[in-house]
Amino acid sequence: MASEIKFGTDGWRGIIAWDFTFENVRRAAQALADYINENAPAEEKGKSPKIFVGFDRRFMSDMFAAEIARIFRSNKLDVTLSDKPVTSPVAACLSLHKFWMSIMVTASHNPAQYNGIKIKLAGGSAPERVTRDVEELLGKSPVLSLYGQQAEQKDLTDIYLKYVSGHVNLKKIKTFKGKVAVDYMYGAAAGYMEKILGAKQIIALHDTRDITFGGGQPEPVEKNLSELKKTVTAKKAALGVAFDGDGDRLALVDEKGNYLTPCLIAAVLCHYFIRNKKLKGKIVQTVSMGYLLKRIARKYGLLFEEVSVGFKHVAELMALEDIAFGVEESGGFAWKGNLPDRDGLIVALAFLEVMAATGKKASELCAQIAQEYGSSVYLRRDVALNKPLVKETFTDKIRKKLPKKIGTHKVAEILTLDGLKILFDNDEWLLLRPSGTEPVLRIYAETSTKKETLALLDFGAKLAAPFLK
């Protein structure tokens, strides 16, 4: 039974009524309660550690969250349950500023039939050692679920919004006069931009609750942004912003309706922070990111490191080392002075701050990056699988079939940190990586031209094909 609950790249996710059931949620909640009672810091012993339970807008998220809170109460934990849907950044913030741990019921950007649980600790996603310990506690104790143990419900979003206001230059942002089109994708971040900028400056899309997410998926990737792009150009907005279902990831669209890749967003922010705010420290990114940050680090003499996919790996490093800037490819960014976790709202506001401070349009900021660090055409292709791949076995087989040269690209280095990443002698690269949360093979590539990037994606798909049957 324990194998049914597995905390992957960022939490446990499952299909509602298939494996994400009330029975399994109760089992997970009991394991979490046991972990908390065994690992609460010394000063919390005998006081009942304070725990926050939040939930997003998904189908039955509120009911799953209430059940988790009830089991925590039954285990004599001091629990506060959110009285409304909140974003994962709210839960992360509260896990540092008011509570010892936060539990968030969400499946993030996954389709509507999914739900899940994220664990937030010390302001970020719980590291693997914590989720591993929780998994080992599954089924060790009978579920303690006592009648009448309802948790107190509160709205604590003001604590989070106060944190956000203190970690961006609101005075500078308020000088920005352009309209911002925001696609909330029916998710829990709805209304947050209005609370900071005011409703008059926001053109809101899909800000109501829809448990089917409009028949789509609340994932801010380019294929899901056609309406946002059209709105930006039609309404003459200065920027387009899209948040995922639980508000920790985002995508941006410039004033011309062009999608900005995570590589470009990261480069604009990192370049500005280092040059204008004199940010110091190591730059860290997940292995699925591109070469722009590597070139920025090289120019300013900063250390650079790649880690496995999943922002928790970035966050763990940020908690242990002097990290200036961290990023993952699916729209998660963080930098020194902020919580070591993804926060779509802070990223959107920071980008607006850069626009306001420089007086440049979004497209002009990206053009500046290309001029200083080279053009970047970064693309990802997902190949659906009948069943998940064993990552290590797949990587080993692909590596054995790899030629020393791919077209005009000479292989300079091979990384097997998370899948197989092939680096070429001009910083360009190709990555083949089975997903850690879905039965999907992700193929990534980055070169200076779309033609070359597509050619690398085609080569990657051809190389992998014999091992996907």
Mean pLDDT of the chain: 93
Condensed to tens digits (0 to 9), the pLDDT of residues 374-431 reads 999 999 999 988 887 888 889 998 898 888 888 788 899 999 999 999 999 889 999 9
Any idea of the CA torsion for 188, 189, 190, 195, to the nearest 10 degrees? Answer: 140
pLDDT of residue 130: 93
Run of H or E residues at 371: helix 362-373
Distance CA 420, CA 204 (A): 40
Run of H or E residues at 78: strand 78-82
Closest residue by Cα to residue 426 from 369, 379, 374: 374
Residue 302 has pLDDT above 90, yes or no: yes
Domain ranges of the chain: 2-161, 168-259, 262-342, 377-467
Residue 8 has pLDDT above 80, yes or no: no
pLDDT grade for 348, boundaries at 50, 70 and 90 = very high
Condensed to tens digits (0 to 9), the pLDDT of residues 74-116 reads 999 999 999 999 999 999 999 998 999 999 999 999 999 999 9
Q: Which residue has the higher pLDDT, 85 or 318?
A: 85
pLDDT of residue 81: 98
Distance CA 336, CA 353 (A): 16
Output DSSP code: residue 47.
T
pLDDT of residue 309: 87
Place of tokens 């994962």: 88
- Phi and psi (nearest 5°) for 335? -150, 165
State in words which class domain 168-259 has.
Answer: alpha beta
pLDDT of residue 137: 96
Per CATH, which fold does 2-161 belong to?
Answer: Alpha-D-Glucose-1,6-Bisphosphate; Chain A, domain 3 (3.40.120)
Number of H helices, E strands in the chain: 15, 22
Average confidence (pLDDT) over 159-170 = 95
Per CATH, which fold does 377-467 belong to?
Answer: TATA-Binding Protein (3.30.310)
Residue 271 to residues 238, 267, 300, 458, Cα–Cα distance (Å):
21, 6, 10, 32
Percent pLDDT > 70 in the chain is: 98
pLDDT of residue 3: 45
State in words which class domain 262-342 has.
Answer: alpha beta
Any idea of the CA torsion for 218, 219, 222, 228, to the nearest 10 degrees? Answer: 30
Q: Which two tokens stand for residue 88?
A: 């994962």
| Contact status, residue 153 vs residue 81, Cβ threshold 8 Å | yes
Q: Which residue has the higher pLDDT, 291 or 6?
A: 291
Cα torsion angle, 402, 405, 408, 413, sign: positive
Show the beta-strand stretches assigned E in 244-372: 250-253, 259-260, 282-286, 304-307, 323-328, 332-335
pLDDT grade for 437, boundaries at 50, 70 and 90 = low
pLDDT grade for 272, boundaries at 50, 70 and 90 = very high
Residue 24 has pLDDT above 90, yes or no: yes
Residue 356 has pLDDT above 60, yes or no: yes
The two domains 168-259 and 262-342 share their CATH topology (first three levels equal):
yes
| Contact status, residue 245 vs residue 106, Cβ threshold 8 Å | yes
pLDDT of residue 46: 59
Output DSSP code: residue 261.
P
pLDDT of residue 1: 40
Distance CA 261, CA 244 (A): 15
pLDDT of residue 261: 92
Q: Which two tokens stand for residue 431?
A: 């990555």
pLDDT of residue 311: 86
Run of H or E residues at 193: helix 192-197
What type of residue is 160? Answer: Y
pLDDT grade for 51, boundaries at 50, 70 and 90 = very high
pLDDT of residue 2: 40
Q: Which two tokens stand for residue 280?
A: 């110091």
Residue 44 has pLDDT above 70, yes or no: no
Distance CA 344, CA 247 (A): 6
Output DSSP code: residue 289.
S
Beta strand pairing status for 50-55 and 78-82?
parallel
3-state secondary structure (DSSP) of residue 268: helix
Give the global pTM. 0.92
Q: Which residue has the higher pLDDT, 26 or 146?
A: 26
Distance CA 247, CA 86 (A): 9
CA atoms within 13 A on the CB side of 311: 29
Average confidence (pLDDT) over 165-194 = 96
- Cβ neighbours of 413 (radius 10 Å): 10
pLDDT of residue 43: 56
Closest residue by Cα to residue 309 from 339, 338, 330: 330
Output DSSP code: residue 191.
T
Residue 154: strand pairing partners: 82
Condensed to tens digits (0 to 9), the pLDDT of residues 208-223 reads 999 999 999 999 999 9
Condensed to tens digits (0 to 9), the pLDDT of residues 62-72 reads 999 999 999 99
Run of H or E residues at 421: strand 420-424
